[in-house]
Amino acid sequence: MHGEYKVPGGKLVVVDLDEADGAIANFRLAGDFFLEPDSALEAIDHAVNGLPVDADSAHIAAAIRSALPLDAVLLGFTPEAVATAIRRSLGNAKSWRDYDWKIVHPGPMSPATHLALDEVLTEEVGAGRRPPTLRIWEWDRSAVVIGSFQSLRNEVDLDAAARYGVEVVRRISGGGAMFMEAGSVVTYSLYAPGDLVRGMSFAESYAYLDEWVIVALKSLGIDAFYQPLNDITSAKGKIGGAAQKRLGGGAVLHHVTMSYDMDGAKMVQVLRIGREKLSDKGTTSAAKRVDPLRSQTGLPRAEIIDRMKATFTGLYGATPGELSPEEHTRAEELVSTKFATKEWLARVP
């Protein structure tokens, strides 16, 4: 069995192993990482051999860590990374380039339609009717998107939202509320087969699925990096946040919103957001714009999106795609029966 795991911001970890009587056998670790002393490699191999094949990542990592020499230095990888590669090998996980990725970037849509498409396209990928897909969002109006489990009244000032013409909707993934204005954010969704993140914890999958956009942002001159659990940030402040949902068939919905240039004053009137969280979003004053992508690149939003699409294509061999009429129809049905209903919006009052 063979497994690979590219550590986000780090090195490639490669494992080969056999299974014998329910245990790992003939384990061999390789990769482009740095490891001192040389004897540490043999120590890791020895620690893994004999472990049960159903050992979880924490168990494997603990066994590796306890076997390392006291003076061991691991650069570009961790025992947890080795454990992830092992779990991926045992689960027959796949890599990005094992799939025929599509990029779709349709025109502006309503907030509820975007959320319905997330559910439809994830289910389509899980059922094998659609190839894995990256979708770039365009907004036709301002919106607040709250997490699946958030309290509506605690998160949003509905009077202020109405005054500013901001639509309020609820998504199917967890996480926090996001303030969106057309042209002020960059939002994308990944619809991926579960096999792509097999063997990873939720935390590991966040970093893994966002690595490509970190590469894209760095190519634009932004010192971007992943910050657990679900943030994309930089030395100059937070850029955006991610959320996930696993649906039937094992497919993964992973979506991210990054700030391009938002009106901070309006945001804090519509969202019931404290000053501490406002600072976390990259501004210390309600009157200041939240503009990490615009201020750090000086580029139009469209150019940033073009670089993102080019980076994804270069890394994973993606090709342009389109939404099907059937997917549009299913999404609009979900808008009317779920995402635009008061029952769904206020399911956590």
Residue finishing a domain among 74, 90, 106? 90
pLDDT of 275 = 42
Residues 58 and 202 in one domain: no
Residues 326 and 236 in one domain: yes
* pLDDT per residue as tens digits for the range 174-218: 999 999 998 999 999 999 999 898 878 788 899 999 999 999 999
* Residue appearing with tokens 């657990």: 228
Distances (CA, A) of 332 to 141, 185, 220: 17, 23, 36
The CB density around residue 106, as the number of other CB atoms within 10 Å, is 14
Of the pLDDT bands very low, low, confident and very high (cuts 50, 70, 90), residue 339 is very high
- Give the Cα separation of 304 and 211 in Å (integer): 16
Residues 50 and 195 in one domain: no
Query: In sequence order, what DSSP letters do the residues of 3-31 get, joined into one string?
Result: EEEE-TTS-EEEEEEEEETTEEEEEEEEE
- Give the Cα separation of 232 and 212 in Å (integer): 12
- 233: nearest Cα among 198, 202, 207, 251: 207
Residues 22 and 105 in one domain: no
Residues 49 and 151 in one domain: no
User: Can you tell me the mean pLDDT for 252-264?
Assistant: 94
Residues 331 and 224 in one domain: yes
In degrees and rounded to multiples of 5, residue 103 shows phi and psi of: -115, 125
Dihedral Cα 233, 235, 236, 237, nearest 10 deg = 30
Residues 288 and 324 in one domain: yes
- Residue 37: asked if its preceding bond is cis (omega within 30°), the reply is yes
Query: In sequence order, what DSSP letters do the residues of 63-125 get, joined into one string?
Result: HHHHHS-TT-EEES--HHHHHHHHHHHHTT---GGGS--EEE----B-HHHHHHHHHHHHHHH
* pLDDT per residue as tens digits for the range 275-330: 445 555 554 444 467 889 999 999 999 999 999 999 999 999 999 999 999 999 99
- Give the Cα separation of 270 and 185 in Å (integer): 16
- Give the Cα separation of 88 and 98 in Å (integer): 14
How far is the first Cα of the chain from the last one, in angstroms, to the nearest whole number? Answer: 49
Residues 26 and 46 in one domain: yes
pTM confidence score? 0.85
Question: Residue 20 pLDDT > 90, yes or no?
Answer: yes
Domain range for 228: 96-345
Distances (CA, A) of 161 to 155, 165, 328: 11, 6, 28
Average pLDDT, the chain: 92
Residue finishing a domain among 68, 90, 112? 90
Q: Count Cβ atoms within 10 A of the Cβ of residue 69 and give its class: 0-12 exposed, 13-18 middle, 19 or more buried.
A: exposed
Output the domain CATH number for residue 55. 3.30.390.50
**314: which residues sit within 8 A by CB, 6+ positions away?**
none
Residues 118 and 64 in one domain: no
Residue finishing a domain among 70, 90, 110? 90
Our measurement of the distance from residue 161's CA atom to the centroid of its chain's CA atoms, rounded to an integer in Å, reads: 28
- Give the Cα separation of 154 and 349 in Å (integer): 8
Output the domain CATH number for residue 284. 3.30.930.10
Question: Domains in the chain: how many in total?
Answer: 2
Our measurement of the distance from residue 154's CA atom to the centroid of its chain's CA atoms, rounded to an integer in Å, reads: 26
Residues 246 and 325 in one domain: yes
Residues 85 and 158 in one domain: no
- Give the Cα separation of 177 and 270 in Å (integer): 11
Residues 187 and 288 in one domain: yes
pLDDT of 254 = 97
Residue 20: both structure tokens together = 């014998």
